[in-house]
Amino acid sequence: MMKLRNFLIAIIVLPLLLVPTLALAIAFMTVDDGTPSVCYGNAIRGRLENGKRLIYAGPNYRAYHIAGYVTGRTFMHSSVRDTLRDAYAALEKSDPELRFVYGESGWAHGGKIWPHRTHANGTAVDFMVPLRTDSGAVAQINASVVNMLGYSVTFDNEGRRGNTRIDFDAIAKHLLALNTAAKANGIRISRVIFEPPLHRLLFASPAGRELQGKLEFMQRPAWVRHDQHYHVDFDVPCRGDGEKAKRGK
């Protein structure tokens, strides 16, 4: 009986003790010394110096999963980080009911990040699709280790999964905000990768009609489905540094 009581106390108390430690660790991970990032090579073969990241969660956004965040898979170039931050701030004012989830972007020093073919130099970011329930309530992908932190979740070609559907209008509003914020931060969006059969639904939404023609979307299917997330490539001035970029592969 004593052993059982001690065990129950341990499984209740230990997580409570770990919460402050984890909170401090997360806070430390987002400390910014103000030094601008420098990217080398390209998104396939490249590396990154002074990688930055968003805080884990803000008023209207969060990272896709705590495991991906604490293991360092959400670093990016400082100008990209600033673009994401400014876009979310603008959306908080224009559409306060919406909630967004950012996905993987890369390691603090760049290089190959499995299983992605890109994300090597801090200039590419994934965003998980925002959802609505059948009743119209805002929803998000329920990420877990079982579904590869959300990356193995799939939707049909109408953007539906169970009692949820992709909020295409929210995606369009987010991309428009990113486009505006990127220009303000001296960079631009070079390409968006999103599952081609879903493009028609995106551009049919109210904000999608404004978005169409403003950004380049890859028309052919990517090597893996991009229905649970949309990938955004940013055009950031990077140094060539071919040999060093190869070492970061």
pLDDT along the chain (249 residues), means of 10: 42 41 48 90 96 98 98 98 98 98 98 96 98 97 94 96 97 98 98 97 98 96 92 96 40
User: Which value, to the nearest 10 degrees, does the dihedral of the CA atoms of residues 84, 89, 94, 99 take?
Assistant: 70
End-to-end CA distance of the chain: 55
Instruction: Domain 32-247: give its CATH code.
Output: 3.30.1380.10
pLDDT at 201: 98
Domain boundaries in the chain?
32-247
pLDDT at 184: 98
Distance separating alpha carbons of residues 138 and 51, to the nearest angstrom: 32
pLDDT at 232: 98
pLDDT at 27: 46
Radius of gyration of the chain (CA): 19
Q: Phi and psi of 133, rounded to 5°?
A: -80, 175
- Residue partners of 3: CB distance under 8 A and separation at least 6: none
